[in-house]
Amino acid sequence: MERRTIGAAALEVGAVGLGCMPMSWAYASSQQNGEESLRALHAALDAGVSLLDTADMYGPFTNEHLVGRVLKERRGEAFVSTKVGLLVGEQHIVANGRPGYVRRACDASLRRLQTDVIDLYQLHRADPEVPVEETWGAMAELVREGKVRALGLCAVGARGASRRAGADLHDGTLGQLRRVQQEFPVSAVEAELSVWSPEALGALVPWCEARGVGFLAAMPLGHGFLTGRLTPGEGFEPDDVRARHPRFTAEMMAANQPVVAGLRRVAERHGCTPGQVALAWVLAQGRHVVAVPGSKRERWVVENAHAASVRLSAVDMAEIAGLPAAQGSWD
């Protein structure tokens, strides 16, 4: 697989990574299967996928345990990214950016992942009660101690605006990035980017490109919608995050079918799937961009990996740019 570079530390990863979250968090729990997820992780590495993206809060903790089982056998083939800064309570999620907690959380992640170093340690969310520089400083100490190789930040911004609005929706994240960059280099920024959620292209993706920072494109398949495999009105299990998203009502899914139809037209010309076109579009946004689709099944992991070989023409890109903006708010 094509390799891409993350950050000033020149860390190389496959152009397509694997978001491990669906294996134990956020999506239908009845469809989660540990053994199937292990097969998917091994299939990803076999296909040239190296970036495995997880977090301590996924599960919580079970996702890191799962990834750790594979790392124990194939650490040399993987680039592991995990996150710190969020705690899962009984009814809500809270941020914790206190330096002491960051150190303890890192040690716990290392144990669960069965490794002695985390390739990319990301701040999942900044704690509003702790200056982000303090949290980042604690994370930087972990790099100096050899427990972490590089640092990243997960971006949070308002969503749901039209792709044609032109306004950047990540002002808060850009401010955080400017502050922490003065303390220790940012190697990667992870944020949502897809054909139907392109807001990060406004300023966040260019900010990363200008500074040699890697951009990890989360949800590049639009939570599965852009694959064309979701049926409007079919519904989702109560614990599936899509059951509460306005864009995943039967009405909005039907209204956004022209987006999938457009991807399917391009896919037919390339002999691939709409999902692969959606991933190829993300990869075409810059050499510093890495697509991180989430999956828990071997079949889809392999299909996503093959998207790295799809090359979209200027005509393809123009056709995708001309698709209708997605309807329905995202929040």
pLDDT per position as a tens digit, 43-59: 999 999 999 999 999 99
Asked if residue 158 has pLDDT above 70, the reply is no
User: Strand pairing partners for 182?
Assistant: none
How buried is 326 (Cβ within 10 angstroms: 0-12 exposed, 13-18 middle, 19+ buried)?
buried
Query: Which of the four pLDDT bands, split at 50, 70 and 90, describes residue 331?
Result: low
**What is the C-alpha radius of gyration for the chain, rounded to an integer number of angstroms?**
19
Q: Are 58 and 102 in contact (CB under 8 A)?
A: no
Task: Residue 40: name the closest of 248, 279, 304 by CA.
Answer: 304
pLDDT of residue 163: 39
CA dist 275 → 18, 224, 237, 296, 310 (Å): 14, 8, 23, 15, 11
pLDDT of residue 152: 97
pTM for the model stands at 0.94
pLDDT of residue 330: 62
pLDDT of residue 168: 55
Q: Are 125 and 154 in contact (CB under 8 A)?
A: yes
pLDDT per position as a tens digit, 239-277: 899 998 999 999 999 999 999 999 999 999 999 999 999
Please pick, among 27, 58, 101, 121, the residue that the annotation labels catalytic.
58
Report d(CA 31, CA 248) in Å as an integer.
Answer: 19
Non-local CB neighbours of 281 within 8 Å, separated by 6+ positions: 195, 312, 317, 320
Instruction: State yes or no: is 27 an active-site residue.
Output: no
Percent pLDDT > 70 in the chain is 95
Percent pLDDT > 90 in the chain is 85
Report d(CA 32, CA 23) in Å as an integer.
Answer: 6
Non-local CB neighbours of 23 within 8 Å, separated by 6+ positions: 32, 34, 37, 40, 58, 63, 66, 296
Report d(CA 187, CA 213) in Å as an integer.
Answer: 5
Query: Which of the four pLDDT bands, split at 50, 70 and 90, describes residue 164?
Result: very low
Report d(CA 37, CA 330) in Å as an integer.
Answer: 28
φ and ψ at residue 323, rounded to 5 degrees: -70, 155
φ and ψ at residue 31, rounded to 5 degrees: -100, 5
Query: Which of the four pLDDT bands, split at 50, 70 and 90, describes residue 79?
Result: very high
φ and ψ at residue 216, rounded to 5 degrees: -95, 110
pLDDT of residue 184: 97
Domains of the chain: 3-224+284-313 (3.20.20.100)
pLDDT per position as a tens digit, 279-315: 999 999 999 999 999 999 999 999 999 999 999 999 9
Query: Which of the four pLDDT bands, split at 50, 70 and 90, describes residue 233?
Result: confident
Both tokens assigned to 261:
């139809």
pLDDT per position as a tens digit, 101-110: 999 999 999 9
Alpha helix stretches (DSSP H) within the chain:
34-46, 62-74, 99-113, 132-144, 171-181, 204-210, 250-255, 257-270, 274-283, 298-306, 314-321
**Average pLDDT for the chain:** 93
Q: Are 117 and 75 in contact (CB under 8 A)?
A: no
Buried b (16+ CB within 10 A) or exposed e, 186-211: bbbbbbbbbbbbbbbebbbbebbbee
Report d(CA 101, CA 107) in Å as an integer.
Answer: 10
pLDDT per position as a tens digit, 136-151: 999 999 999 999 999 9
3-class state of residue 204 by DSSP: helix
Q: Are 10 and 265 in contact (CB under 8 A)?
A: no
pLDDT of residue 109: 98
